[in-house]
Structures are given as structure tokens and as C-alpha cells.
Amino acid sequence: MSMITVSWGDPMVRGRLAAIRQRAPFIYGVTNYVAATLSANVLLAIGAAPAIGTAPGWPGAFGRSAAAVWINTAALMSTSSHDIVHVASCAHEAGVPWVLDPVAFGAGSAEYDRIVMRLLDCAPAVIRGNASELMALAGADGGGRGVETAHGSHDAVRHIQTLSSESGAVVAVSGATDYIASGATIFAIKGGDVRLTRVTGAGCALGALIAAFLPVSDTAAEAACAAHATYAEAAGRVKTVGTGSFGVGLLDELSVLAGLQ
Amino acid sequence: MSMITVSWGDPMVRGRLAAIRQRAPFIYGVTNYVAATLSANVLLAIGAAPAIGTAPGWPGAFGRSAAAVWINTAALMSTSSHDIVHVASCAHEAGVPWVLDPVAFGAGSAEYDRIVMRLLDCAPAVIRGNASELMALAGADGGGRGVETAHGSHDAVRHIQTLSSESGAVVAVSGATDYIASGATIFAIKGGDVRLTRVTGAGCALGALIAAFLPVSDTAAEAACAAHATYAEAAGRVKTVGTGSFGVGLLDELSVLAGLQ
Amino acid sequence: MSMITVSWGDPMVRGRLAAIRQRAPFIYGVTNYVAATLSANVLLAIGAAPAIGTAPGWPGAFGRSAAAVWINTAALMSTSSHDIVHVASCAHEAGVPWVLDPVAFGAGSAEYDRIVMRLLDCAPAVIRGNASELMALAGADGGGRGVETAHGSHDAVRHIQTLSSESGAVVAVSGATDYIASGATIFAIKGGDVRLTRVTGAGCALGALIAAFLPVSDTAAEAACAAHATYAEAAGRVKTVGTGSFGVGLLDELSVLAGLQ
């Protein structure tokens, strides 16, 4: 398997981040309330303009007018399946690229999983998640427990290649090393910090970050790679002690990378 | 146009903040889940006693018994329009002063905008928002994009005078300089920090803060001025680097100003 | 009244915390969106694996498969009473121990209070709250105002003994000193920091923490004592200034105590 390594050192990554700050793209998110605040703050830290939530009329208005959209299916804890599917449909029909984060897919609720599957019909540009979720979405046994993975990201590599080829989406799995499949091609992003797994919503916020890179990138693969590399660089720069300070430091370093501190 | 400058240096501002700490007023909020945590923490930092959300029976019970109420209409992402209007009606009928924050008004959803307009019938004491939202509410073209403004606060000055005169509410617009209209009279509050626009819910939390000042102030204009001046002072004192630390530091400085650190 | 003092110095407390890190129990929570993020972060800081929210099918699937559950009834602000009762029923039937946090019980909504009372039929292992809430649940006049207590924890001691004896649950009241009743036996946990009352959701997160200790403890009383002692120790170690930094420091110190910094 050939693998292409991507990192913050690549001029493409820095160029895309600079473009976000310059253009301040409007990024619309449908996500869960545990992760919503961090996701919005990650986008604000790099200069994007986020709006979150399905207040009356927002799914259609914002789903069509945003520069990109992200949908975190755990939003179903306080959003109807109708609203979530409506956002995806509006984005798809309007040609707005969007990111699917199938949180807890395969963790035990067939009802939930069916709603997630319906979203695949709306052609997400990128699908991101942990190994268990993406393995389950590719038809394998993911073994996920709640929102936690039972596998390392390396276990998921061939499954995300399958899922990418079948769905047409770029597929990104988070872990000690992040892997991104664009069809059979695999990109690898190293770095980051294990404390990313100890801050709730840190994975969800990465889905929002990918969405922010979509309107300033030439391809969905480039957007996913640039977002993961930026996130890993910011996480790796946090030198404080403790998981609380880590979450704060992650935002600080993102804003410093973007020149918005 | 005559303009009255207000700042933390005014004894009125410090006196009102001290009164909040002394009386610990019960402040009830209906807000969105992206901003709810920060709003509650801002109120706790200065010694108020917040409760948030429309659990069964709370709209009536808390809408009538609170010392003041704030309603952030983005709450509609997880609250019914019935519950929101019920809170406003109960507060209005009970003589409880309340703050309206019409988040994303005029940004594209006519259905959402109609619900916001219904709240104006319940006579908010203060309306606060960004320039685009308040210009749209005053009948002009605000040009807002999601929850972001397309105009500077100065562009909104004459519109908030109009809105204040027509609605009878004090109207406050946030920006590089904050302006507060009480009929034709304009108050200006300088200072703050541009990073306030890079922390999600920082504007929403200011709506909560204004509510906390209402029960300890002689007029709604005084409450709005004192809240904005306190917020700007706290923001201006934060000397850390990065948008994450800025959000934490804002709470720290508020609690220090209130003597509750 | 005989009282047994428990603190971080007890090997039992440290042993239980080490067991959480080792086993990473899956802890399922139904809670309100103001407190959800902090609760998840408290659990992640000590090595537990939390999932929060009632997305379709999650109440049954996670209520039965979790190692323990916590239910914070302020979840009713965005969760149906049916879903909340369903989680409690599934946990009860599956023998999964669970924690009840009756936020704002007795504060003025009879409709809300009736839903909370129905949950008592599902035999919570632990009930935790502030003095006003638990006094009201024991049939006394709690005098609570929103989510705030009108009494010190000491006032509640005989009431939590009554409530524990009648319900069969361990009952824990937070305050300057925390008291835990297991029938007539009372445990006392000193320490902590008054700033815990100035961070929204800090009490709610303690309910989540107790749930994490349940699957690694011999009794519910042991779990409640170990959770309170760990929380008080972490809070007491935070030496920063301001309520914002205190919330961040609380997570840092918890992760340091667990060896996960």
C-alpha cells in the first residue's frame, strides 16, 4: 500500500489555512450539544464564520447559502431526522460540499444507524469518524461502545478505502495516526496528542474544521488533509499539563497558526 | 448627534455590579445550547443565580419568579416557539423585565423572523444584538450571514434609535464600540477586545449579563450601559494569547471585578 | 449522630480511581445541555468512556449496555419524559446501577416534579443534589430558587437519612461539607472549593463522576464517597485566580489524580 504523508510543513496546508482567514467562509453545522461549543470555537479560532443548529427555516436557508456544511449525526439527540436529512438534501442540491460525521454508528441502535445510512444518499464530500464507526459503515464489525472506538486507526485503513470507493466520498479516520482515503489512495497524518481523546467533542470539531477547508481547497482530499494536518500541529504544540488546559490550548494554538490570537 | 460615553470608571457601573453580588438575583434564561454554558458562567462569575432552559413547567414558574429574564431566539434550535413566547408573556404579565437577543434575525429564514417579531409584543426592556440583526429588526437591510454581522456597529446607530423609539425598548448594538439607544439618546462604550468575536456565545452572554443588571438598576438604559461597560473592562484586562485562553480569561476577569475570584 | 469522614487520603478512594482508569467503564448520561460538556470532560479526565444523549435507539441500547448510568432531570429541557423514564427503566431492568440528579426539584414546577418522582420507581443506586432539592424530595420545604439551594448542606443531613431509608438509595448532598447517607449512616467529605458553585454544571458533573465509580466499587456508598473525595481533592488543588481558570483547573487536577494528564 502506498501512503502519502501530509503535515503542517506542506505549503498547501498553510496556504489553505490562510485562505480561510482571508475569506471567512460561512460554515453551517448540525451537531450535538455536547460538542457544539468546541466546534464553533475551533472554527472561530481560524477565522471561519460558523452557525450551528436547526432553528425554524435554518436548515433550508443555511444549508443552501453556506460555503460548506458539516453534519454530526449525534445531533439526533435534539434534532429531528427530518431536519437533518433536509439539511443534507439542501446542501446536496445546491452544490454545497458537506462533511458527514457518523458518531456512534454501529454501537447498538439499528434505528439510529438507518438514519445515518439515509444521509449517504446525499453524497457527502467527506466522511470522518473513529475506526469503529467507519468499519461499521463499511460493513465490517466495528465493535464500538457508545461514542468510543474499539480499534486503532490502522485497523480501519482497508475499510476506509472500500468505503471511499463505494461512496465516492473522501473518508478520514482519526487515531494515533490519522488516515485519509480518496479511493485507493491513502494519506497519513502523524502527530497530534493522545489528550485529543480526553476532550469531549475534539473529534466532532475536526469534522467542522474539514468543512471550513472545503470551500478553499481544490479537492475534498486536500481539504481533509489540510484540516487534519492543521489540527495535529496545533495539538502537538500544546505544552500544558492536564486535559482541561489541553482543550483551551488547542484553541489557542489554532488561533496562533491562523494569526488570529 | 450627542453621545454619552460610559465606562468602568463610572461609580454607577461599579455600584450596580456590587449590588448583583450582594443580592444574587435569580436570572432565568432561554437560550441556545451553543451559548448556554458560557452565559451561565458569566452570570455565576459576577454572583448572579442563573437557571437556563424550558423543562416542563419552568417557562411559567421561572418566567414569573425570576428577577429578570433573557431570551436568545436561537433557543428555537431546541425549544418550541410556544415555550419561548410563553416565557416572554409570563415575564411581561408579571412585570419581570427581560432582554431580547434576536440572533440571526434577517439572515434568511422568514419563518424564524416571524417568531422573533411576535416577541416584540411582550415589551422587552432591552434588545441587544449585532449590527445586521438590529438593522434588519429596524426594517433596513442588515445583510447578515448566519449569526455574523455584515456591518460595523457605527452603521447601526440611527437604526437602533429608530428601533428604540418605535418599540420603547433600550437597544444595544455590539461592535468595536458598543452603542446603546434609549430613544434618541445614544450611549457609547469603548474598549473590549476583538477576540470577543472569536469566542462563540460571547455576544449571547452579554444578553444574559444585561438581564442580571436589570433588577439592580433604576432604568433599563442604566442596566445596559453598566453591563456593557463591565464586559468591556473585563475583556480589555485579558492579557493572554489565543482565543481559548481569552474565553477563560474573560470569566476570570469578570469574577475578579465582582470580588468572587 | 455518628459521622464517618472520608478523604483522598483513604486507599479505598485512590484504588477505585485507579480501577476506572484501568477498566475505562462505559458510562451513559442523560443530562442537560448546559452541563453536558463539563460532565463528559470530567469523565474523560479520569479515564471513563462517556456517551451522552437520547438519539433514536440510544436510551434502550446504551441504558442496558452501559456499566453505569446517570440521569440529570434538567435533561427534560431538550429530552422527552418518555425517553428519560425509558433510560431509567432499561437500566433498572438490566441491573445497571444509576445515579439520579433531581436538579431544581421543588423549585416551583409541579409538572416537572411529578416526572422526577416517577424515576424513583426505577430504584436509583444514588441520589445526589443540593440541600434544597433533596429536602424537597424528602418531603420538607426546600425553598430552592431555580437550580440554586436556599440551605446549607448541614441543614439537609436528617432529610437525606430519611430519603435514603425510604428509597433504599444512597443520598449525597453537596455543600461546604458534603454529606452522604446510606440509611442512617452518614459520611462526611470536607474540602473542595467555593468556586465549585461558580462553574455551571459542576454539581451535575459530580453526578456523572459518581456513576463512573459505581462499576468499580463494592457498594453504592463507597462509589459516592470515592467520587466526592476525588472531586473535593481536585478542587482543593486548583490554585489559579478566577472562576474560568478554576473550571479548567478542576479538569486538569482530575486528570493528574488519574495519571492521565
Q: How far is B258 from chain C (nearest CA, A)?
A: 10
Average pLDDT over residues A191-213: 96
Question: What range does the domain containing B102 cover?
Answer: 3-257
Query: Which of A108, A201, A242 is nearest residue C61 as measured by Cβ atoms?
Result: A108
A36: burial class by Cβ within 10 Å (0-12, 13-18, 19+)? buried
* Residue A2: per-residue pLDDT: 77
Over the Cα atoms of chain B, what is R_g? 16
> Is B107 close to A49, i.e. CB distance below 8 A?
no
Burial of C39-74, coded b for 16+ CB within 10 Å and e otherwise, reads bbbbbbbbbbbbbbbbbbbbbbbbbbbbbbbbbbbb
* Residue B2: per-residue pLDDT: 77
Q: Tell which wins on pLDDT, C142 or B209.
A: B209
Say whether pLDDT at C91 is over 80.
Answer: yes
What does pLDDT average to over chain A? 97
> Is B56 close to C109, i.e. CB distance below 8 A?
yes
Give the total number of structural domains in chain B.
1
Query: Which of A73, A109, A245 is nearest residue C61 as measured by Cβ atoms?
Result: A109
> Is B33 close to A51, i.e. CB distance below 8 A?
no
Q: Which residues does C65 contact at the CB level (< 8 Å), separation at least 6?
A: A108, A145, C26, C94
Q: Which pLDDT tens digit goes with each residue over A138-169?
A: 999 989 899 999 999 999 999 999 999 999 99
Lowest-pLDDT range of A240-244, B146-150, B171-175, C201-205? B146-150
Q: Tell which wins on pLDDT, C210 or C145.
A: C210
Q: Which pLDDT tens digit goes with each residue over C74-84?
A: 999 999 999 99
ipTM, two decimals: 0.97
> Is A44 close to B76, i.e. CB distance below 8 A?
no
Average pLDDT over residues B158-169: 97
* Residue C89: per-residue pLDDT: 98
* Residue C261: per-residue pLDDT: 86
The secondary structure of A31-98 as a DSSP string is --TTTHHHHHHHHHHTT-EEEE---TTHHHHHHHHSSEEEEEGGGGGTS-HHHHHHHHHHHHHHT--E
CB A75 within 8 A of CB C56: no
Say whether pLDDT at C1 is over 80.
Answer: no
Q: Which pLDDT tens digit goes with each residue over B222-246?
A: 999 999 999 999 999 999 999 999 9
> Is A197 close to C44, i.e. CB distance below 8 A?
yes
Query: Which of A40, A56, A253 is nearest residue B200 as measured by Cβ atoms?
Result: A40
Q: Which pLDDT tens digit goes with each residue over A3-50?
A: 999 999 999 999 999 999 999 999 999 999 999 999 999 999 999 999
| Share of residues in chain A with pLDDT > 90 (%) | 96
Which residues of C sit within 8 Å Cβ distance of B? Answer: 32-35, 37-38, 73-74, 76-78, 81, 104, 107-112, 115, 145-148, 197-201, 240-245, 247-248
Angle at C202 between CA C196 and CA C203, to 5 degrees: 100
Say whether pLDDT at B261 is over 90.
Answer: no
* Residue A202: per-residue pLDDT: 98
Beta-sheet pairing, A49-52 with A26-30: parallel
Q: How far is A47 from chain C (nearest CA, A)?
A: 23
CATH number at residue A8: 3.40.1190.20
Q: Which pLDDT tens digit goes with each residue over A41-81?
A: 999 999 999 999 999 999 999 999 999 999 999 999 999 99
> Is C51 close to A147, i.e. CB distance below 8 A?
yes
What does pLDDT average to over chain B? 97
Q: Is C229 helix (H, G, I), strand (E, B) or coil?
A: helix
CB atoms within 10 A of CB A22: 10
* Residue B1: per-residue pLDDT: 62
